[in-house]
Chain A
Amino acid sequence: MSDARVTVAKTYKLYLGGAFPRSESGRTYPVTDAKGRFLANAAHASRKDLRDAVVAARKAFGGWSGATAYNRGQVLYRVAEMLEGRREQFASEVAASEGLPAKKAQSLVDAAVDRWVWYAGWTDKVATVLGAANPVAGPYFSFTVPEPTGVVGVLAPQRSSLLGLVSVLAPVLATGCTAVVVSSAERPLPAITLSEVLATSDVPAGVVNVLTGKASELGPWLASHADVNAIDPTGAGPVGRVELAREAAGTVKRVLAVPEEEPDWTAQPDIARLRQYLEPKTVWHPMGV
């Protein structure tokens, strides 16, 4: 390789309302690889960025939740397609961020692609599996259909920078909810690169908003934000989660129950996360002539 060429380094910014702005605060922080070598400066998102992200997510909710399940499934599958096309890039970012050998990083990227595919297939099945025709004792047709709960605040796993992130984000999108994600603080770069994938995968603007920064700083604002319906506190850590859960109580948010430690993200998920972001809605109508 010639030493003459200087590589073009990427500026990592936030992903907010479909755009890639810098933090309104102007703050950045250095991101290093597992060995402490400088990788890039990430935007250090502020609570105002978070506020803007929630506004964008709320604005996008009507369209995304109102899209057909088939459409959402295709969009999620498109994400998998785009991710597949950038496997190498993600593998090297994951390897650098998480300090993994190339082969291991590659397998995590593959698992992340497959996870999108798995959730893509759920969009148009989850209502069948979780919904019901209710055999009520009277002349009524009663059915229950799960509907997306709204805007979900996701504190992404701190360790698993891509597979973990995809594992917590994809179910949010599959249900028709929109997301405000706070990425891993120390390993944020795959999250921003994933945002580039999302931005080019027909995911409507605002459906996913990614903030790089500190869960401990942004989490409480997310948990107390009255226009956020649910919280995944995974990335907040055991101590942070308690505070988040208390803040979330102020507006009766749904708080996902998560294990103490980050789970093995390579394990096959079940549909607990889908259930968490769905509100069963029961509709009654009389049957008569």
Chain B
Amino acid sequence: MATATLPVALADATRDDASLRRFLHGLPGVDQVGVEQRAAGLGTRSIKKAAKLWAIDTAISMVDLTTLEGADTHGKVRALCAKARRPDPDRPDTPPVAAVCVYPDLAATAVEALAGTGIAVASVATAFPSGRSSREVKLADVRLAVTSGAAEVDMVIDRGAFLEGRYGQVFEEIQAVKAACGDAHLKVILETGELATYDNVRRASWLALLAGGDFIKTSTGKVSPAATLPVTHVMLQAVRDWYTATGELRGVKPAGGIRTTKDAIRYLVAVHEVAGEQWLTPTLFRFGASSLLNDLLLQRRTQLDGHYSGPDYLAVD
């Protein structure tokens, strides 16, 4: 990324390890009770009728349809890609999802299955989900994803290094991964469940933004808690603050634990009111999810048909 264009204060922040530390620790704190209260308050927004249908379609178009299991096979990935292309075959006007997210060794299968659809393939990398390996192994993982045709790479940060306060190391690793990505978009997974505090989430968000992440992503889905509304609030605030400081738009991706339409709409409300309506686009907001899609589709049918639908009318993933 074009660090040269950053305002002086931000450019200085990354000059060396000590500067980075000073900068991150100089960010305003996040009061847990306050941010949770705000998230709960916004969570009571009542989204009805046309606004709800718009939200459902928008949410579908923001889904990174994900399978990240040890038992994943080429067949499973192809099935998921079929679902991504036509989420609800009975309703051809249903928008496709944003991307399919898989492990790097299956990225090529997904790329093939989605050729010509406009749906991106995202691949996790960097010794996902723990990130516990050498730099070479992590970068090799990224190269595998990119050479397989993944347009988006979801990396994990080194939480151990972060919690030890070795921010410079985390920063450099993100930069190295970004370089290895080439043209692929980089999503930086903070694994907020392991960072434990909102202050850490804010610092890690800024660290990832400073290092060039295109998206900041909450979780791998392998750690509980995964995405939460208040954590996403903190991250949305970070990208908004980044925009205020630099004029650049960066994205946010909550992942894991978002299963219902109701949940998804709460997230969209947060995007709308915390970051701003510019962020209500798949280029700046994604849901990392699998079962969410079917609930969105069910609710979409309910909205359009005027009666409740059932799971047997939709394809299992």
A–B contact (CB under 8 angstroms): yes
Chain A residues in contact with chain B, CB under 8 A?
138-140, 286-289
Chain B residues in contact with chain A, CB under 8 A?
31-34, 36, 196-197
| In the complex, residue of chain A having the shortest beta-carbon distance to the beta carbon of B30 | A288
Inter-chain contact A289/B196, CB cutoff 8 Å: yes
Minimal beta-carbon separation of A284 from chain B (angstroms): 10
Of B32, B33, B34, B197, most A-chain CB atoms within 10 Å: B33
Inter-chain contact A289/B197, CB cutoff 8 Å: yes
| In the complex, residue of chain B having the shortest beta-carbon distance to the beta carbon of A138 | B33
| Measured CA separation A60–B184 after assembly (Å) | 71
Inter-chain contact A288/B31, CB cutoff 8 Å: yes
| Measured CA separation A287–B197 after assembly (Å) | 13
Sampled A-B contacts (13; CB under 8 Å): A138-B33, A139-B32, A139-B33, A286-B31, A286-B32, A286-B33, A288-B31, A288-B32, A288-B33, A288-B36, A289-B32, A289-B196, A289-B197
Inter-chain contacts of A289 with B (CB < 8 A):
32, 196-197
| Measured CA separation A138–B37 after assembly (Å) | 11
| In the complex, residue of chain B having the shortest beta-carbon distance to the beta carbon of A139 | B33
Minimal beta-carbon separation of A149 from chain B (angstroms): 31
Minimal beta-carbon separation of B195 from chain A (angstroms): 11
Inter-chain contacts of B34 with A (CB < 8 A):
286
Inter-chain contacts of B32 with A (CB < 8 A):
139, 286, 288-289
| Measured CA separation A207–B34 after assembly (Å) | 42
Minimal beta-carbon separation of A139 from chain B (angstroms): 5
| Measured CA separation A15–B32 after assembly (Å) | 54
| In the complex, residue of chain A having the shortest beta-carbon distance to the beta carbon of B32 | A288
Inter-chain contacts of A286 with B (CB < 8 A):
31-34
Minimal beta-carbon separation of A9 from chain B (angstroms): 68
Inter-chain contacts of A138 with B (CB < 8 A):
33
| Measured CA separation A287–B32 after assembly (Å) | 8
| Measured CA separation A288–B196 after assembly (Å) | 12
Minimal beta-carbon separation of A137 from chain B (angstroms): 13
| In the complex, residue of chain B having the shortest beta-carbon distance to the beta carbon of A288 | B32
**Extra pairs beyond A286-B32, A286-B33, A289-B196 (13, CB < 8 Å):** A138-B33, A139-B32, A139-B33, A140-B33, A286-B31, A286-B34, A287-B33, A288-B31, A288-B32, A288-B33, A288-B36, A289-B32, A289-B197
| Measured CA separation A26–B246 after assembly (Å) | 74
Give me the 8 closest cross-chain CB pairs, A-B, nearest first.
A288-B32, A286-B33, A288-B33, A139-B33, A289-B197, A289-B32, A286-B31, A288-B31
| Measured CA separation A32–B261 after assembly (Å) | 91
Inter-chain contacts of B31 with A (CB < 8 A):
286, 288
Inter-chain contacts of A139 with B (CB < 8 A):
32-33
Inter-chain contacts of B197 with A (CB < 8 A):
289
| Measured CA separation A194–B192 after assembly (Å) | 68
| Measured CA separation A138–B34 after assembly (Å) | 12
| Measured CA separation A287–B31 after assembly (Å) | 9
Inter-chain contacts of B36 with A (CB < 8 A):
288
Inter-chain contacts of A140 with B (CB < 8 A):
33
| Measured CA separation A139–B36 after assembly (Å) | 11
Inter-chain contacts of A287 with B (CB < 8 A):
33
| In the complex, residue of chain A having the shortest beta-carbon distance to the beta carbon of B200 | A289
Minimal beta-carbon separation of B314 from chain A (angstroms): 40
| Measured CA separation A286–B35 after assembly (Å) | 11
Minimal beta-carbon separation of A285 from chain B (angstroms): 9
| Measured CA separation A287–B33 after assembly (Å) | 7
Minimal beta-carbon separation of A109 from chain B (angstroms): 57
| Measured CA separation A138–B33 after assembly (Å) | 9
| In the complex, residue of chain B having the shortest beta-carbon distance to the beta carbon of A286 | B33
| Measured CA separation A286–B198 after assembly (Å) | 14
| Measured CA separation A288–B230 after assembly (Å) | 13
| Measured CA separation A30–B31 after assembly (Å) | 67
Minimal beta-carbon separation of A96 from chain B (angstroms): 65
| In the complex, residue of chain A having the shortest beta-carbon distance to the beta carbon of B35 | A288
| In the complex, residue of chain A having the shortest beta-carbon distance to the beta carbon of B199 | A289
Of A140, A287, A288, most B-chain CB atoms within 10 Å: A288
Minimal beta-carbon separation of B66 from chain A (angstroms): 29
| Measured CA separation A287–B36 after assembly (Å) | 12
Minimal beta-carbon separation of A217 from chain B (angstroms): 55
| Measured CA separation A140–B36 after assembly (Å) | 13
| Measured CA separation A140–B31 after assembly (Å) | 12
Minimal beta-carbon separation of B229 from chain A (angstroms): 15
Minimal beta-carbon separation of A270 from chain B (angstroms): 40
| Measured CA separation A289–B34 after assembly (Å) | 11
| Measured CA separation A216–B137 after assembly (Å) | 93
| Measured CA separation A138–B32 after assembly (Å) | 13
| Measured CA separation A103–B31 after assembly (Å) | 67
Inter-chain contacts of A288 with B (CB < 8 A):
31-33, 36
| Measured CA separation A15–B34 after assembly (Å) | 52
Minimal beta-carbon separation of A176 from chain B (angstroms): 32
| Measured CA separation A139–B32 after assembly (Å) | 10
| In the complex, residue of chain A having the shortest beta-carbon distance to the beta carbon of B33 | A286
| Measured CA separation A139–B40 after assembly (Å) | 14
Minimal beta-carbon separation of A251 from chain B (angstroms): 36
| Measured CA separation A178–B32 after assembly (Å) | 41
Minimal beta-carbon separation of B112 from chain A (angstroms): 46
| Measured CA separation A84–B32 after assembly (Å) | 57
Minimal beta-carbon separation of A241 from chain B (angstroms): 48
